[in-house]
């Protein structure tokens, strides 16, 4: 993999990643006249839930569903406005988000607590948010990439995870993709994101607590026990030598998969070459099943669960959550009173039925 680092007009970093053997030089300059990025993010501690909340009011002005000929993720080409990618073509590109929720250059001077709320601690919204663009072709999707490009994206995820984990103050790196307007995507060009958080997220904290509780009660590893049971159960959808994708027995979403490597590793950088090849293969398989389960592709979120940077790494097992809120043709699962108000999910589908339906999908 060849990496080239450049700067955009406002000073943000843009990184080009090309497969080995590529000869194209990445030297194009950003011709835009951009103001400096202004980030007013702030962390506030919720004393009742014991969780950090990120406030990022400056994101209200971010780009929202532009027409295809004004897409900021397409290459910069004659006859159209310059974009976030100065090159006329690219393979995979990563750049700092222009409207970040968290940033390394955030204002550090914040009060100790929110006005009138001494229990609500305040911290700067420190971190980093990156955009990962999978292809220069606007009308593609991850599911339609070839295996070589998917493998390049996996290598990029691993490289960015390793680098962002090395930033002082970063506690967790989250790689994800939102796909489909129903999910809330504001740019239709195939892309994902990476967040480098200054705290360990609530989901990971909760899973780590479950891992410790299981060790005390059962004397074994929770991840290993779950994976061993699911690999021999009725909910497996796809598998190869190194990975298994299954519908979890207590799935929350109408269509949900978890994808586990067979070897315990804490994060994407720890995957060996053959495991990355196998990941690209099985990931394209399950994305294809999501794309062809109904007449139109399912909107989805692909969420990589990686170990925190500084703790719990010896216990963690890398895995992916892939889920959709579509429950039937033309019908979505809304997070209504029970889910949004109490965090108690009520599912409209049965995991065993969903697994059978996804296995039956005929891939093109």
Predicted local distance difference test score (pLDDT) of residue 334: 92
* Helix, strand, or coil (residue 145): coil
Please say if the pLDDT value at position 342 is more than 80: yes
Whole-angstrom distance, CA of residue 54 vs CA of residue 94: 23
Pairing of strands 128-133, 191-197: antiparallel
Q: Same domain for 241 and 127? A: no
pLDDT band at 64 (very low <50, low <70, confident <90, very high): confident
318 part of a folded domain: yes
262 and 141 both lie in a single domain: no
Same domain membership, residue 182 and residue 131: yes
pLDDT exceeds 80 at position 254:
yes
Mean of the per-residue pLDDT values for the chain? Answer: 95
Residue that finishes a domain, picked among 150, 183, 199: 199
By percentage, how much of the chain surpasses pLDDT 90?
Answer: 91
189 assigned binding-site residue = yes
Flag whether pLDDT at 260 surpasses 90: yes
Residue 264, pLDDT above cutoff 90: yes
pLDDT tens figures, 207-243: 999 999 999 999 999 999 999 999 999 999 999 999 9
Percent of the chain with pLDDT over 70: 100
Instruction: Decide if pLDDT at 16 tops 80.
Output: yes
311-345 as b/e: b if 16+ CB within 10 A = ebeebbbbbbbbbbbbbeeeeebeeeeeeeeeeee
Note whether residue 34 is domain-resident: no
Q: Are 190 and 277 part of one and the same domain?
A: no
- Other beta carbons within 10 angstroms of residue 113's beta carbon come to 14
DSSP 58-103: GGGGS--S--GGG-TTSBP-TTS---SB-SS--SEEEEE-SS-SS-
Residues 74, 167, single domain; the answer is: yes
Q: Which of 140, 173, 199 is the last residue before a domain boundary?
A: 199
Does the annotation place 74 within a ligand binding site?
Answer: yes
Task: Based on the fold, state whether residues 193 and 338 are members of the same structural domain.
Answer: no
Overall pTM surpassing 0.85 (yes/no): yes
Which of 181, 199, 217 marks a domain boundary? 199
Q: Which position among 58, 191, 214, 292 bears the catalytic label?
A: 191
Tens-place pLDDT, residues 81-134:
999 999 999 999 999 999 999 999 888 889 999 999 999 999 999 999 999 999
> Do residues 127 and 224 share a domain?
no
pLDDT of residue 50: 97
Annotation marks residue 58 as catalytic = no
Looking at the structure, tell me whether residues 344 and 226 fall in a common domain.
Answer: yes
User: 78 and 108: one domain?
Assistant: yes
Average pLDDT over residues 35-59: 91
- In a domain? residue 32: no
pLDDT above 90 for 30: yes
DSSP per-residue letters across 172-210: EEEEEEEESGGGT-S--SSEEEEEEESS--HHHHHHHHH
Would 45 be classed as within a structural domain? yes
Q: Are 2 and 22 in contact (CB under 8 A)?
A: yes
pLDDT for residue 59 is more than 80: no
CA nearest neighbour of 154 among 179, 129, 177, 120 = 177
**How many domains in the chain?**
2
Nearest to 280 by CA among 160, 147, 190, 177: 147
pLDDT at 25: 87
Q: Give the structural domain span for 122.
A: 2-23+39-199
Asked if residue 364 belongs to a domain, the reply is: no
CATH of the domain at 301: 3.30.428.10
Residue 141 within any structural domain of the chain: yes
Say what the pLDDT of residue 4 is.
96
> Do residues 232 and 322 make contact, with C-beta atoms less than 8 angstroms apart?
no
Q: Are residues 78 and 107 in the same domain?
A: yes
343: helix, strand or coil: coil
pLDDT tens for each residue of 191-211: 999 999 999 999 999 999 999
- The answer on whether 129 is annotated among ligand-binding residues is no
Domain assignment of residue 29, yes or no: no
Identify the pLDDT of residue 40: 83
158 shares a domain with 80: yes
Same domain, 45 and 191: yes
pLDDT of residue 107: 83
193 part of a folded domain: yes
């Amino acid at each position: 993999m060849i990496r080239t680092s450049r700067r955009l007009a406002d000073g943000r970093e843009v990184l080009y990643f090309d497969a080995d053997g590529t000869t194209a030089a990445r030297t194009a300059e950003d011709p835009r006249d951009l103001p400096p990025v202004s980030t007013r993010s702030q962390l506030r501690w919720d004393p009742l839930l014991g969780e950090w909340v990120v406030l990022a009011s400056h994101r209200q002005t971010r780009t929202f569903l532009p027409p295809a000929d004004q897409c900021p993720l397409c290459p910069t080409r004659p006859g159209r406005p310059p974009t976030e990618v100065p090159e006329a073509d690219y393979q995979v590109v990563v750049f700092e988000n222009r409207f970040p929720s968290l940033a390394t250059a955030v204002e550090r001077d914040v009060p100790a607590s929110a006005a009138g709320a001494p229990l609500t601690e305040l911290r700067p919204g420190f971190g980093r948010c990156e955009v990962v663009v999978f292809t220069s072709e606007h009308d593609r999707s991850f599911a339609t990439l070839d295996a070589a490009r998917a493998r390049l994206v996996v290598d990029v995820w691993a490289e960015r995870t390793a680098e962002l984990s090395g930033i002082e103050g970063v506690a967790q790196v989250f790689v994800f993709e939102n796909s489909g307007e129903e999910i809330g995507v504001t740019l239709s060009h195939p892309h994902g994101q990476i967040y480098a958080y200054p705290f360990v997220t609530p989901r990971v904290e909760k899973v780590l607590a479950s891992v410790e509780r299981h060790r005390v009660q059962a004397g074994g590893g929770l991840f290993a026990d779950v994976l061993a049971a699911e690999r021999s159960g009725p909910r497996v959808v796809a598998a190869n030598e190194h990975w298994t994708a299954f519908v979890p027995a207590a799935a929350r979403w109408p269509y949900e998969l978890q994808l586990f490597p067979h070897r315990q590793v804490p994060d994407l950088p720890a995957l060996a070459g053959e495991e990355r090849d196998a990941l690209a293969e099985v990931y394209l398989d399950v994305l294809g099943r999501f794309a062809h389960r109904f007449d139109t592709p399912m909107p989805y979120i692909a969420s990589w669960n990686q170990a925190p940077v500084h703790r719990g790494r010896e216990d963690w097992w890398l895995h992916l959550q892939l889920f959709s809120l579509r429950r039937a043709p033309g019908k979505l699962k809304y997070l209504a009173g029970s889910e949004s108000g109490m965090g108690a999910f009520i599912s409209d589908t049965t995991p065993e039925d969903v697994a059978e339906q996804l296995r039956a999908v005929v891939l093109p």
